[in-house]
Amino acid sequence: MSEFDDDADGLNDKEFEENLRLFEDMLATGQVHFFDADDIEEIIDYYLQWLNYELAKKAIDYGLERYPFSSIIKIRYAQYLSSQHYTYEALAILNEVEQIERSNFELYMARGFIYSQMGLGEQAIENFKNAIPLAEQKDEVYVALGVEFLNDDKADDALYYLKKAIKLNPKNEVALNELSLCFDLTGKSDEAIAFFGQYIDNHPYSYFAWFNLGLGYGRIGLFEKAIEAYDYAIAINEQFSSAYFNKANSLAQLNKFEAAIEVYKETFKYEEQEPTTYYYIGECYENLDRFEESLVNYNKCVKLDPANADAWLGIGVVLDAMNRLTEGVHYIKKAIEINPNEPEYWYVFAELQEKLGFIEEAAMAYQRVIELEYPDFDVWLDYAKLLHQNGYIDDAIKNLNEGIKKFPDVAELYYRLGIILLEKNRRKESLDVLTRAMDMDYSKHDEIFEYAPVLKNDKEILNLISGFKK
């Protein structure tokens, strides 16, 4: 672009600002001004872009009154109606436009977005595809198609169109970010790393590409490489708060909690204070056993976002670590109130109730963890231990058998069951179960004595173990 083009753009901007001022003066004073069709279209676009629907509607009314045959103004009216959830009325207007002007790119894009808003993905995709041959900037259409396929859980199709968008316009940041999400959803982290690495070879100053490369490395656990990529993104754009945040996450994954805290704090220079950032700072301080500072940050999180259940849980866990257990229970309950279907919250609640000696409440909480299909086997061991140590031996055995049905390949459950069966004088059954446990994983046989040290004097158990050793 030449310096004359720059000057022309500056004049256009000034002309638009003057038109916008005149239009708003007209609304305020009632004194009528004339605006040609292009001017009023620009004014409508401005208000719609900034979600000022009240003024957008007034500009549309002005335009339709003076230019009733303008397809663009009718399309903008349809877009306004869809923003107010009058989608069928909006589609009716677009159908009228189609009868007159079938080759209008804006028509198909607007209708595609309205169908997308209605959850009608196939119709949205059909309209976006109709827009392709009419588009001057086809990358915009390919992005719309990519996003729609993503909404329809068709990440591979989305990848295809987003790659086409980037091929046409390598600087399309929306396409880059959506493409990164597609790689994540399809589990193609290696392909993501290769893609963004190659992209960076051609566009080394794209901080979005460096950021997405960092995401790719992070997804496969290469956190050092992720940090290096985020550092490049920050070097190119030092105000890129997302790069600081993800760099801090990677440092935390490497247990570099103090460094992570400092980088999390950097984000506050470039964006509003985010509750999630305070949560992660609190978690880092918790991992450093700096509990007072952890509480300060968890509390800042819930002050900004009272619905952040993880932060309420964090407060409860930290108070437990500070031997303020009775206080801690209150905050765990708060987390459960916000999200009653999170098994992790119930697990922590069960452990705290057990510490306080409320056995019945702890048992009910463990049952709730199991009902919510907690993904690990630990809960079955902990629940069985609670039952066993409080004399509910038959219930403990029943619980472990249920756990084995859920996790048939976990040796620890068999070891624990074998030990508890001995207390019911079911020795033969116990030895059979312990034999199976050692068949599955002999290296864990020490758990027998860790849980029941008295069995170190049981000759039959010792013979069984030594027989496996040989």
d(CA 165, CA 179): 10
Residue 461: pLDDT above 60? yes
Q: Tell me what pLDDT residue 186 has.
A: 84
pLDDT one-digit tens code per residue, 28-53: 888 888 888 989 999 999 999 898 99
Angle between helices 105-117 and 71-83 (to 10 degrees): 10
For the record, the structure tokens of 146 come out as: 């990519």
Q: What percent of the chain has pLDDT over 90?
A: 69
420 band by pLDDT with thresholds 50, 70 and 90: very high
- pLDDT band, residue 4 (cuts 50/70/90): very low
Q: Say if CB 188 and CB 215 are below 8 A apart.
A: no
- Model confidence at 69: pLDDT above 60: yes
Q: Distance (Å, rounded) from C-alpha 361 to C-alpha 356?
A: 10
- pLDDT-above-70 percentage for the chain: 97
State residue 308's pLDDT score.
96
Q: Examine the pLDDT at 246 and tell me if it is beyond 80.
A: yes
- CA separation for the pair 309, 314 (Å, rounded): 9
Task: Give CA–CA dist 228/213, Å, rounded.
Answer: 10
- Are 308 and 301 in contact, with CB atoms under 8 Å apart? yes
Does 16 score more than 70 pLDDT?
yes
Instruction: Give the alpha-carbon dihedral of 440, 441, 444, 445, to 10 degrees.
Output: 60
Q: How far apart are CA 128 and CA 117, in angstroms?
A: 14
**Residue 5's pLDDT band (cuts 50, 70, 90):** very low
Encode pLDDT of 385-394 as tens digits: 999 999 999 9
Report whether 167 contacts 202 (CB < 8 A).
no
Q: Helix or strand or coil: residue 2? A: coil
Predicted pLDDT at 8: 45
Kindly report each contact of residues 236-240 with a partner whose C-beta sits within 8 Å and lies 24 or more positions away, as own/partner.
Answer: 236/205, 236/206, 236/207, 236/210, 237/207, 239/270, 240/207, 240/211, 240/270
Distance CA 336, CA 345 (A): 6
Q: Which of 75-89, 347-361, 395-409, 452-466 has the lowest mean pLDDT?
A: 452-466
Token duo for residue 356: 């306080």
Taking Cα atoms as reference points, which of 195, 224, 236 lies closest to residue 212?
Answer: 195
What the block records as the tokens of 371 is: 């009902």
Q: Which of 39, 49, 47 is nearest to 15 (CA)?
A: 39
Res 470: pLDDT = 57
Q: Provide the 8-state DSSP code for 307.
A: T
Angle (CA) 297-300-306 rounded to 5° is 125
Task: With a cut of 70, say whether residue 6 has pLDDT above it.
Answer: no
Cα separation, 120 vs 33, whole angstroms: 41
For the cut 70, the answer to whether the pLDDT of residue 251 exceeds it is yes
Say if CB 114 and CB 95 are below 8 A apart: no
The whole-number average pLDDT for the span 142-170 is 91
C-beta of residue 166 within 8 angstroms of C-beta of residue 179:
yes
Is the pLDDT at 379 greater than 80? The verdict is: yes
| H helices, E strands: number in the chain | 27, 0
| Per-residue pLDDT at 32 | 83
What's the rounded Cα separation, in Å, for the pair 301 and 293? 13
Q: 166: closest CA among 201, 195, 204?
A: 195
